[in-house]
Amino acid sequence: MAKLLYRVGRFAFEKRRLVVLLWVGLLAALAIGAASAPPAPPDTFSIPGTESQQAFDLLEQRFPGTKSDGAQARIVFVAPEGQQIGSDANKAVVERIVADVSSGAQVKGVLDPFQTGAVSKNGSTAYATVSYGATSDNLTDATKTALTDAMHTGESAGVTVEIGGSALQAKPEMAGATEAIGIAIAAIVLMITFGAFAAAGLPLITALIGIGVGIAAIVAIGMSTTTTTLAMMLGLAVGIDYALFIVSRYRTERAEGYSAAEAAGRAVGTAGSAVVFAGLTVVIALAGLAVVGIPALTKMGLAAAGTVAVAVTIALTLLPALLGFFQNAVLPKASRTARDGRDNPPADRVPAGKPGMGTRWARFVVRRPVAVLVIGLVGMGALALPMTSLELGMPGDEAQPTSTTQRRAYDALAEGFGPGFNGPLTVALDVKGVSDPRAAVERATSTLAATEGVVSVSPAMFNQAGDAAMVTVVPATGPSTTATKDLVHTLRGEASDLQTATGATMLVTGATAMNIDVSQKMADALLPYLAVVVGLAILLLMVVFRSIAVPIKAALGFLLSVGAAFGVIVAVFQWGWLADLIGVHQTGPVMSMMPIFLIGVVFGLAMDYEVFLVTRMREAFAHGETAHEAIVTGFRHSGRVVVAAAAIMIAVFAGFIGGGEPMIKMMGLGLAAAVFFDAFIVRMTLVPAVLALLGDKAWWLPGWLARILPNVDVEGESLNRHEAVEPERELESVRA
């Protein structure tokens, strides 16, 4: 592989104008395609194979025009202090608001509170449910204005009106000021690392081009823009990191006396090999999200995987082409000045007798591996302790700040009707082929009403054909409580008795039931997902390092990083530690999708640093150094760059903490924390300690396995034997 990538890098360097033109042309073509592409189909969230989805599909089939993913609004009416909402004056206000809202073009139906009995026992509060024929993302401004006008109408008449549900749900925020801050921090870190504007700018330029190509392609092929958040986050982070490693290796090769063209080829052949395998681990982890079986998560993973693949391709082709235009400008100022005087000093070499911080740290760990390992494991274990309190769910309006009408509507319903009104269950009844459908539905309704934990059951609503009915069950407890979860299982357990007695099929769904099904589906998919992703990655790392111990150690270190990251998420989002600092307005359960999502992304990123750091150790060991010397050499060459790469990735991810959506905040914090723990504690501390304890055994591979595994030559040994890569001393100054 090293020879192939060497030729790719050298070709891109020598044909730099053609390569740059091709990438610019591709970006322009995709941008035009994205601009002219028809609007993407509305986002739908489905969980195939679950009872919730079966019920939604049944209702959509039997009740034509009803969309399971359609937006819904709850208009909550609260009478002035000491008054009844059913008084003549207040009732007239409610009926006028209901009539105004129901006239909207996208409205499928409005349930009048006085006709459905949706009035609290004390008579102070009522609510009307509005169903729409479009998702919340596709509601028109006129539709949303009708809801906000309802609030003003009520206010002018003295009735408090609040709006809950998904109709006024804000669209996920894309890149903004916080992300720009992350990029600015990345630029500063690059400048400190390289000491040259060109060297700092090239990784940023190539990463932004990669993001442009990836996002434009996603939009052009018709994928929803909501899938781009993860793609943007990861594409930017890995794009900078991959370019950073290749530029750093280019500078090192120039320091060894190679010409610019030769250094570019060797940088792509060596560091580029590490980039390819690091990128493959990320792509495997992201594409593996398809194992879960949730289409929305699969699309998000595939979109991000495609963007990472683009970042790898750009690092191998566009970056060496750009190096051709900035051959000396990417070198430190002192080195450029010396080259102008036809001297050829090392660009990145540390002066003799003055070992860098990475070298000193590696020597410290090698001398005291047991103590370092114990302290590191204890510290990571302590950070992971909060994970034992992890609670999963799908936070709703209760997670909104109290300044929003959604949160005020939630609180008003909980106060007037009980907490269960914020998490109603929808029960679908299939009575097709039943001899007496109405009797079967009446029996089901009676059974539901008699179940402990149920506050009320709405009258059954039949479809036109009379072969299906729908009822709403209100629990006594809130949507995210264990009691409500148990109630859902109880109701589903009653379905078999009902079918035996009447032949009717009863299915329980609704947002609360769907959250339960999502959590269960995630739990069921976790072990298969880990087996597929971790298994493939271990095999891949065996090929890279030609070792058994190193890949297994890498996987175990990843588990420590994930555990500590989840500890931070639980402490902030469930316990409320430092919640105000990052704008978390309400503590609650962690998103159901977060565990498997974070595991997939963090695994890929964790293997990045493993590959970048340990390949230099493997390279030194393969060139004759002892196991301990190889650890120090690896840190001398890669330690500083890995620190810079981690700092950049943390800055990029931390920028998303400023997003308005709780899930985006959680993603940003979880990924930033995981990268910090993995890069600085696991890879920079625990990995050298374990390798020091294992010694030569770390690089042991059985002979039979060595014959089976392909030798991809990540160390670039073949380049040292290749006649085209003999050191070429520069005889004349090269234009910057």
- Give long-range contacts, CB 8 A cutoff, 24+ apart: 266-269: 266/6, 266/9, 266/716, 266/719, 266/725, 267/9, 267/320, 268/5, 268/6, 268/8, 268/9, 268/10, 268/12, 268/316, 268/320, 269/2, 269/3, 269/5, 269/6, 269/9, 269/716, 269/719
Q: How is 69-93 classified by DSSP, letter by letter?
A: T--EEEEEEEPPTT--TTSHHHHHH
Strands 461-462 and 505-509: unpaired
Q: What's the confidence (pLDDT) of residue 351?
A: 44
Q: What's the confidence (pLDDT) of residue 525?
A: 83
At residue 454, φ and ψ (nearest 5 deg) are -100, 125
Cα of 276 vs its chain's centroid, Å? 21
Please tell me what DSSP assigns to residue 548: S
Give ∠ CA 677-310-14 in degrees, rounded to 5.
115
Please tell me what DSSP assigns to residue 361: H
CA nearest 199: which of 164, 159, 251, 241?
251
Burial class (CB in 10 A: 0-12, 13-18, 19+), 411: middle
Q: Which two tokens stand for residue 189?
A: 């870190």
Cα of 21 vs its chain's centroid, Å? 33
What pLDDT, in 10s, does the model give residues 448-463?
A: 999 999 988 888 889 8
Would you call 130 helix, strand, or coil by DSSP?
strand
Q: What's the confidence (pLDDT) of residue 403?
A: 75
Cα torsion 394, 399, 405, 409 to 10°: value is 70
Rounded (10°) angle between helices 228-255 and 295-325: 30
Q: What's the confidence (pLDDT) of residue 22?
A: 96
Please tell me what DSSP assigns to residue 685: I
How far from 638 is each of 61, 333, 472, CA to CA, in Å? 59, 21, 61
Q: What share of the chain is helix, strand, coil (3-state, %, to 5)?
A: 65, 10, 25
Would you call 459 helix, strand, or coil by DSSP?
coil
Tokens 């940023």 sit at which residue? 204
Give ∠ CA 561-567-568 in degrees, rounded to 5.
95
Q: What's the confidence (pLDDT) of residue 39?
A: 72
pLDDT under 50: residue ranges of the chain: 174-175, 341-353, 723-736
Q: CA-to-CA distance for 249 and 246, rounded, in angstroms?
A: 5
Q: Which two tokens stand for residue 64?
A: 């034509």
CB distance 127 to 119 below 8 Å? no
- Give long-range contacts, CB 8 A cutoff, 24+ apart: 179-184: 179/232, 179/652, 179/655, 179/656, 180/655, 181/651, 181/655, 181/658, 182/651, 182/652, 182/653, 182/654, 182/655, 182/656, 183/236, 183/652, 183/655
Q: Which two tokens stand for residue 309?
A: 């693949």
HEC string of 620-670 equals HHHCCCCHHHHHHHHHHHHHHHHHHHHHHHHHHHHHHHHCCCHHHHHHHHH
Q: Which two tokens stand for residue 191?
A: 């400048």
Phi-psi region of 207 (alpha: psi -120 to 50; beta: other; left: phi over 0): alpha
Strand-pairing partners, residue 461, are 470
Q: What's the confidence (pLDDT) of residue 66?
A: 58
Cβ atoms within 10 Å of 373's Cβ, excluding its own:
18
Cα torsion 594, 599, 601, 603 to 10°: value is 170
Burial class (CB in 10 A: 0-12, 13-18, 19+), 279: buried
Q: What's the confidence (pLDDT) of residue 354?
A: 63
Would you call 9 helix, strand, or coil by DSSP?
helix
CB distance 610 to 687 below 8 Å? yes
Q: CA-to-CA distance for 714 and 550, rounded, in angstroms?
A: 15
Q: What's the confidence (pLDDT) of residue 725?
A: 41
CB distance 650 to 687 below 8 Å? no
pTM: 0.78
What average pLDDT does the chain have? 84
